[in-house]
Amino acid sequence: MLSRFWSALVLLGCLWIVATRGNLSRDPSQPTTSDEIVVAGSKVFLRCEVEDPDDSSLQWSNPAQQTLYFGEKRALRDLRIQLERSTPNELTISIDNATLADEGEYTCSIFTMPVRTAKAIVTVLGIPQKPQIFGYSSPLREGDLAQMTCISSGSKPAAELRWHKGGRALPSEPSEVEEDSNGKTFTVTSRVEFAVGKEDDGVEVTCTVDHASLQNSDKSTSQQISVYYMPTARIEPKPEHPREGQNLELRCDGQGNPIPHQYKWEKEGTDGPLPEAQENILIFPNLNKSDSGTYICHASSMMGMFTTRYKLDVNDASPVAHAGSTYHAVIGGIVAVIVFLLLILLIILGHYLIRHKGTYLTHEAKGSDDAPDADTAIINAEGGQTGGDDKKEYFI
């Protein structure tokens, strides 16, 4: 336990000695400052501080060792340079609208014995110019190799260039960097090449500049390219399901770049005359079954010819006849129901009449027991109990 105590005590003593030496080595009269990075056209602040000014004033000088400010006193007539704060312990100035010429090593001095100084390196970032794309001048043909060049100057340090095609990154050759005539900025050149296809027609190729001076924004230029490719076509009927007696149009819808400018119609298996053709439209004024068959459209452009077919099957006007038959069937059904109801009524009526006829014969039979003839029997039957009363005998 005792040995551990002495070890901890020795360690604390060593730490105290190191801290004391550090404080002793620190000169309170030594000014301090920091390096600054600024984008061209922006404002840069230069701040110098000292703990013990020793009754002396702080001073700022430019890279050419020209005094800018001595305390609160302006020494250089450059209105871009302004005093921001002046106290015995601090001297802060600013340079507005900084240019590449403002770049360099600035000196903060305090005139004690001896004179003490601190250095601040100001770096001015050169903003790259909007990139320009060269190399594309006319439409390309499908399968051709597109070659483009992107150039941006004025960047410091040298900018980076990126390519995109239709939103996707496009690999490029390594960029070339050249120093501008001012000896401070750079011109960057990037080249790209790729084979074009049908899907590249109308797509935009974009060159983008990446640079620290642009911060969260960027500069880019786009070039829309045009690609010639083979035409395609399809035949569309109007109406979609033609029938005999109707008017029909077969439209050959051509697509491509350039759009097909010539159309030729023919009917498969025959050299006979065709209906009237108006460029890409074949017109049938009154369809009949003899118009059935396969029709061929040839769509042509400077890139070639495309052939498409359409099979026409003309049906008769069965939907109209079918509609009439349906109407008559409905009427026939209604008539059948009426006849059926009438038959039922006749059967019921006949049954009713038969029952009443039987009752009449029964009454006639009842009156024929003691009647000498039929008339007397009927009278006896209708009379009912009257005749009966006459036949009653009374015994005394």
Give the model's pLDDT for residue 24: 44
User: What is the Rg, in whole angstroms, of the alpha carbon atoms belonging to the chain?
Assistant: 57
Average pLDDT over residues 12-35: 64
Which of the pair, 112 or 216, is modelled with greater confidence?
A: 112
Average pLDDT over residues 176-188: 95
CA distance 353 to 347: 10
What amino acid occupies position 59? Q
Which of the pair, 249 or 389, is modelled with greater confidence?
A: 249
Asked whether the predicted pLDDT for residue 102 surpasses 60, the reply is yes
Q: Which of 297-301, 364-368, 370-374 has the lowest mean pLDDT?
A: 364-368
Give the model's pLDDT for residue 328: 57
Q: What SS3 string covers 170-233?
A: CCCCCCEEEECCCCCCEEEEEEEEEECCHHHCCCEEEEEEECHHHCCCCEEEEEECCEEEEEEE
CA distance 160 to 152: 9
CA distance 149 to 133: 6
Average pLDDT over residues 259-264: 94
Give the model's pLDDT for residue 130: 95
Name the pLDDT band for 129 (thresholds 50, 70, 90): very high
Name the pLDDT band for 330 (thresholds 50, 70, 90): low
Asked whether the predicted pLDDT for residue 354 surpasses 50, the reply is yes
Helix (H, G, I), strand (E, B) or coil at 9: helix
Give the model's pLDDT for residue 332: 74
Q: Which of 164-173, 283-292, 322-331, 373-382 has the lowest mean pLDDT?
A: 322-331
Give the model's pLDDT for residue 36: 97
Give the model's pLDDT for residue 334: 87
Which of the pair, 71 or 167, is modelled with greater confidence?
A: 71
Triad 303, 305, 311: Cα angle to 5°: 150
% the chain with pLDDT above 70 = 80
Of the candidates 55, 57, 56, the residue with the CA atom closest to the CA atom of residue 69:
57
What values do phi and psi take at 68, rounded to 5?
-95, -55
Average pLDDT over residues 151-170: 95
Give the model's pLDDT for residue 337: 83
Give the model's pLDDT for residue 49: 97
CATH number of 232-312: 2.60.40.10
Q: Rounded mean pLDDT of the chain?
A: 84
Of the candidates 291, 289, 255, 261, the residue with the CA atom closest to the CA atom of residue 276:
291
Average pLDDT over residues 91-112: 96
Give the model's pLDDT for residue 375: 58
* Cβ 330 vs Cβ 299: under 8 Å: no
What is the pTM assigned to this prediction?
Answer: 0.64
Give the model's pLDDT for residue 10: 40
% the chain with pLDDT above 90 = 61
Name the pLDDT band for 235 (thresholds 50, 70, 90): very high
**Residue 333: CB atoms within 10 Å:** 10
Average pLDDT over residues 17-32: 64
Name the pLDDT band for 87 (thresholds 50, 70, 90): very high
**361 HSE (CA, 13 A, CB side):** 6
What values do phi and psi take at 183, rounded to 5?
75, 5
pLDDT in tens, 46-81: 999 999 998 899 999 999 999 999 999 999 989 999
Buried b / exposed e over 31-45, threshold 16 CB at 10 Å, is bebeebebbbeeebe
Asked whether the predicted pLDDT for residue 362 surpasses 80, the reply is no
232-312 and 36-125 share a CATH fold: yes
Asked whether the predicted pLDDT for residue 88 surpasses 60, the reply is yes
* Cβ 93 vs Cβ 84: under 8 Å: yes
For the domain with range 132-225, which CATH number is right: 3.30.1490.150, 3.40.630.30, 2.60.40.10, 3.10.129.10? 2.60.40.10
Domain ranges across the chain? 36-125, 132-225, 232-312, 320-380
Q: What SS3 string covers 314-328?
A: CECCHHHHHHHHHHH
Say which CATH topology domain 36-125 has: Immunoglobulin-like (2.60.40)
Name the pLDDT band for 20 (thresholds 50, 70, 90): very low
